[in-house]
Every structure is written in C-alpha cells, then in structure tokens.
C-alpha cells in the first residue's frame, strides 16, 4: 500500500486531521492525505487528497520524506509551502492546528510515532 501525506505548517503549527469512525484508526490524529490509487503517481495523489479532504489547492510543494513501515506500507510526505483556500473538514473529520512540540502527545497510528520525530528534524 502507498500512502501520501501533507506537512502543512503555519506559524509553528501543523495541520492534523482526525480519522473518521469508519477507520481502523478512528479518533486518532495524523497528517492529511490518503491512499495512492491504482495507476496514479504520488504527486497527483497528494494534490487530489488535499482537494478532497481539505478543500485546498496545493501550489508549492516538495517531497520531504519517505518511510516504509513494517506493515509493508510506503509513506511519502510532501511539504506544502503554499496553497489556495482555507482548509476545512470536507469529509466530516476532525481538523486542528497543533504546535510542533505537541505533535507527539497526540493519539496517532503507530507509524506516525516513528515518522513525526524524523519530520521535525527535516523542517
């Protein structure tokens, strides 16, 4: 499985979305994003996911980080420098801006506890 995620930061706060009740990670928090569809390339997937999930158009992004979990999942994280629109929860998920130093205190899927410290060292 291939997952794309967006690191969207403003004034030291990082956008986090909450997994919906129908998810295996219901109630937990993570970076916005989702699965790469069959035949889709990762950069197109992150553009699509941010539009579908947050209602924003990404304008300036850069690949930031790749992580392979022990569960055979590949994560690609894109740093977002500029976007159009105001993020909102289009899929009725929770949405919050979290101070970078507080990210590790959130309830998150297991892979995030490995990825977040590495991402904090890169941004």
- Give CA–CA dist 75/92, Å, rounded: 23
Average pLDDT, integer, range 19-48: 93
Residue 17, SS3 per DSSP: strand
CATH architecture of 2-116: Alpha-Beta Complex (3.90)
- Give CA–CA dist 98/3, Å, rounded: 21
What are 35-55's pLDDT values in tens digits?
Answer: 999 999 999 999 999 999 999
- Structure confidence at residue 59 (pLDDT): 96
Residue 90 confidence class, pLDDT cut points 50, 70, 90: confident
What are 49-81's pLDDT values in tens digits?
Answer: 999 999 999 999 999 999 998 778 999 999 999
Say what the pTM is: 0.93
């Amino acid at each position: 499985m291939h997952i794309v995620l967006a690191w969207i930061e403003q004034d030291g706060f990082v956008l986090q979305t909450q997994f919906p009740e129908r998810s295996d990670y219901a109630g937990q928090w993570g970076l916005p994003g989702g699965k790469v569809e069959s035949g889709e390339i990762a950069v197109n997937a992150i553009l699509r996911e941010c539009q579908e999930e947050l209602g924003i158009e990404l304008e300036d992004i850069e690949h930031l980080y790749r992580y392979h979990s022990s569960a055979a999942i590949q994560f690609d994280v894109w740093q977002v420098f500029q976007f159009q629109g105001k993020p909102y929860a289009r899929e009725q998920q929770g949405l919050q801006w979290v101070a970078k130093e507080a990210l590790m205190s959130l309830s998150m899927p297991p892979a995030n506890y490995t990825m977040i410290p590495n991402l904090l060292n890169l941004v």
